[in-house]
Amino acid sequence: MSTEIYQEIWDADQDTNGVPALRPGDTKSESTGYVVVDERDMSVSGDHMVLAEVQIPESKRETYLLCEKLFNNYTLDPGMREQVRVEETQEEMDFVDAIVPLPPLQVAKDFIARDRGQTISDNMLAAMIKETWFLHDMAGSKYASGFEHVFVGEQKDTGDKPDELAVETGGYHFWYKYHLDDAGKRLDHGDPSADRIVYQGTRYGNAEVSSQGLLVPEVVTLSFEWTAPDFTTGGSQRLRKPIGGFWVGCSPEGLIALGLIRARTQVDKIAEINGSTYQVDLHRLDGNPKSIRTFFPRFRHSNFGGMNPPGGGSGGGGSPSSEHEVKIVAALVNLPGQEAGRETVTLLNVAPTPANLEGWAIEAPNGWRFMFADVVLKGGEVRTFRMPSTSPQFRNQAGAITLFDRAGAQHDQVNYTTEAARREGFTIVF
């Protein structure tokens, strides 16, 4: 089954309450919001903030705040069954009612309806969200719900708390929760000194190309310690996460929608979002195949290995390379709504033999170069690549797009007109 639904949900979310994940130095928009992701491949202090800056505009905060109200509704110890209070049930209902009509869930609803061949109402969708994400039942010897495990995090072991570093964190795969625990900057005006995270470095060792993970701001894979509040006892417990991770920039409803698709359809577990490939892991509650136990992304690789600013390339001229016959055949340069990270270039390998594009580069009209990773185009293959950028690279007026080979020689170049660029949402064919 097509995995394009992951990208469709991500785009719908970025057009509404999601915020772009940026690299340090990228252009920031206060009105759109942003998360600056500062991962390091070197040793840094435990005080280093991976989510270095977070700006969520007032217009986007409602679902984050409703989601945040749920965080203290769960016991830290998974051996204890939750005692659900009336006000907690109301908070859950308020959150679900607020997110159901929003674009990410509506995109998910339409996909599930097509998958099942039936009409799904918003009431049915709300019931599906509750069953998938909020059912609290057994997972082995532990009590759990998908929301608690993924959005909040929990103590992995049950019973008495051993020595402060002996217990691992279970779950904890929501970037906004990590931000609140790490930044001492709570949007609900909580304790501004509550820095509960000690960062212990990146952990991309299991990725196909580990160095690429640092270049993709939409994902973080890391190790950390967490001083977790225990709302049952009023105390806290120091927990550790040897390796964990989360997508960055998706809203609460965006993550709910992605998990709903993974849990309730036969969609493949391999997802591509903004040119990066992930393995989307899912485990279910015991005896409840429709309910999430845990859900998180594993970064595998990216189509692009990096980017160079204008003038930063290794070449910039020379005659076309004859090593391979790869052509630029189309580009999407002007999109409705959020353009960053959604612009595309389509390449065709016209030769009968494979072409490895590692070290090749696309140069945008503004001079930025995007280096390909270990990407192979089979003979005759056509593939569309998203520009891995957090700001638009293609002007909505006349411009040139250039393909350079690994030696830095110009391999192909196409030009588009202002008239073609002004047709919003239309792909330009060369």
Whether the Cβ atoms of residue 76 and residue 230 lie closer than 8 Å to each other: yes
Position 319 scores a pLDDT of 45
Q: In the numeric block, which tokens belong to residue 423?
A: 């047709």
Cα atoms in the 13 Å half-sphere on the side-chain side of 372: 24
Minimal CA–CA distance to 204: which of 250, 239, 243, 240?
Answer: 243
pLDDT along the chain (430 residues), means of 10: 87 95 87 92 82 96 97 83 84 98 98 95 98 85 86 78 67 96 61 77 82 88 91 85 96 98 95 93 92 95 79 48 78 86 92 92 90 90 85 85 93 94 93
Tell me the angle at which helices 122-129 and 252-264 cross, rounded to the nearest 10 degrees: 90
Give the integer Cα–Cα distance in Å for 137 and 427. 48
Give the integer Cα–Cα distance in Å for 17 and 252. 9
Position 34 scores a pLDDT of 94
Report angle CA 410, 389, 29 to the nearest 5 degrees. 140
Structure letter (DSSP) for residue 133: I
Position 231 scores a pLDDT of 81
CATH superfamily, domain 305-429, is Lamin Tail domain (2.60.40.1260)
Position 290 scores a pLDDT of 94
- Tell me the one-letter amino acid at 235: G
Give the integer Cα–Cα distance in Å for 317 and 320. 9
Position 184 scores a pLDDT of 62
Position 47 scores a pLDDT of 83
Give the integer Cα–Cα distance in Å for 266 and 196. 38
Q: What residues are paired with 382 via a beta bridge?
A: 348
Give the integer Cα–Cα distance in Å for 133 and 90. 16
Give the integer Cα–Cα distance in Å for 62 and 99. 10
Give the integer Cα–Cα distance in Å for 248 and 23. 12
Domain ranges of the chain: 4-302, 305-429
Q: What would you report as the CA-atom Rg of the chain, rounded to the nearest whole angstrom?
A: 23
pLDDT, one tens digit per residue, over 402-411 is 999 998 999 9
Position 110 scores a pLDDT of 97
Q: Is 72 left (phi over 0), alpha (psi -120 to 50) or beta?
A: alpha
Query: Which helix or strand (DSSP H or E) is residue 277 part of?
Result: strand 276-285
The residue ranges of DSSP E strands in 303-340, in sequence order, are 304-308, 326-332
Position 234 scores a pLDDT of 81
CA separation, residue 315 to residues 307, 394, 404, 405, 409 (Å): 14, 21, 8, 9, 6
Give the integer Cα–Cα distance in Å for 96 and 125. 10
Report angle CA 121, 126, 127 to the nearest 5 degrees. 100
Q: In the numeric block, which tokens belong to residue 315?
A: 């070449």
